[in-house]
Amino acid sequence: MLRINKCLLLLVLVCFIHKAQSQINSPFSRYGLGDDYASQNSRYLGIGGMSAAFSDQQALNTGNPASYGDLHTLGPAGGLATFDLGFDISSHNLKSLDPAGTYKSNYFRPSYFTLGMPLAKKGFGLIFGLRSLTDINYNIKEQNSLPIHGYPDSVRNYNSVYNGSGGLNQVFMGLGKKFGHLSLGVNLGYDFGKREIRTQTAFDSSRTVDPADAATQGSIKDVRMAVGGFVWEGGLQYELPLSYKTDPVTKIKTSSSLTLGATLSLSQDLTSKTNTTFFTYYASDPDNPIGQDTVVNSGEVRGKVTLPRSYKVGLMYNNYMENIDRWGVGVEYNSTSWGSDYKENGVNEAAYANSDMIRAGVYFRPSPLRGKSMFSRARYSAGFYTGKDKLVFDGKQYKIQAVTLGMDFMIRNFVRTSRQYSLINAAVQFGRRGSDENNVSESFIKFSMGFSLSDFWFTKRRY
């Protein structure tokens, strides 16, 4: 088991290193530090992306560090450590009204890896993790022409190609402690990443030929920025027991509770290092442009990127049978101050506005105790989210909405006498960003799969 876990960890780290080779092409990632990426356990994605009021020993909830207080030991057997990792497959369909056109892209990538373990017999947990926060990947071509001064009937054609790559990742450690019905927690992380933006303009080239494929003259502007810095997020959860009873015939115990959860992260600064070059070129060989005149070479310029404050509040009703969650329903509100807080060297991003989101969902198990198959004991979920995205173009803020479906089922370990087990989590999202009011809109399908693998650590041997 330990050998398998080490191999999985190595695979995930290699995938994170090579994630920039993904095939997605999103013009929305051109602004700020890129498109936000929901690196959550698939269990929570399937219920509308809610995480504020959830806690689970097996499906680790990094969306609220207060949930780590539910990690605990299993008596004399030792501590149950959980390895949690996930992957995403997405299909995106971009639609442009002017000029009319569509573009499809797909990608596969890892989204997170987390390791959780208890620090005490009950109510104190520690988590380490690595996750993606944003993506930058786009390739946009624009064709145009300019009138030639003194020759009103003549024009000079030019093409422009805009390329961008990079993104933001986070390595983090989280602590959560439970005090009776109240749980408190904090995530301490280090955000790191890069943004590489290239603008290439080619003159006197055919309107139908990419400047990278033709002998031409033009200019290239490269802006490369690396960012890094420490961040934190705090969270709390309060569980209010509502009912508890025992069936007089079957002796089965059922209970219910209401959980309130909330998280908060304040505006925080990352350190940036930016290098800008701008030069003209001539390319008889498209693969080897020859620089003619360097206009700008800034060297390394230090600055800062200010991340926005964010919070979420959620409420969840859960019904249990023998301490197994049987069904539940919840709602959550998210808010992030992108428009007012996000800045690069003190300058706000013009394409950003404050965003908010409403999430809701429900889950259930058909037969949590007497199910004869893993599908009858599985947990099924459905949800939705809707709200305002952070992007604004032509004075119109984008809307985003999606419906979600999820399923997670237990795979029992060969050690039947223990409570050690593993989960497979799967979720799918069908959504749209933008509407007919926006010139460019996007419809998407996202499939997420996660694996929650458990193993005993710190076992006390008895001889």
Each residue's pLDDT tens digit in the chain (463 positions)? 444 444 444 444 444 444 444 456 788 888 999 988 888 888 899 999 999 998 887 788 999 999 998 886 655 555 678 888 898 998 989 888 877 888 888 888 888 999 988 887 778 889 999 999 998 988 888 777 777 766 677 677 778 888 999 999 999 999 999 999 999 999 999 999 999 999 888 776 444 555 555 556 788 889 999 999 999 999 999 999 999 888 788 788 889 999 999 999 999 999 999 999 988 877 665 556 666 667 778 788 999 999 999 999 999 999 998 888 889 999 999 999 999 999 999 999 999 999 999 999 999 988 877 767 777 788 999 999 999 999 998 888 999 999 999 998 877 654 444 556 678 899 999 999 988 888 888 999 999 999 888 777 655 555 4
Distance CA 201, CA 214 (A): 12
CA dihedral 456, 457, 462, 463 (to 10 degrees): 100
User: What are the DSSP calls for 267-293, one per residue?
Assistant: -EEEEEEEEEEEEEEEESSTTS-EEEE
- The single-letter code of the amino acid at 418 is S
Spacing of C-alpha 420 from chain mean position: 29
Distances, alpha carbon 125 to alpha carbons 175, 187, 258, 280, in Å: 6, 12, 22, 57
Instruction: Round to the nearest angstrom and report the end-to-end CA distance of the chain.
Output: 23
Class of 2-457 in CATH? mainly beta
Spacing of C-alpha 89 from chain mean position: 13
- The single-letter code of the amino acid at 377 is R
CB 193 within 8 A of CB 178: no
CA-closest candidate to residue 449, choices 80, 111, 25: 111
By residue count, the chain amounts to: 463
Rg (CA), the chain: 26
Spacing of C-alpha 128 from chain mean position: 17
pLDDT of residue 20: 40
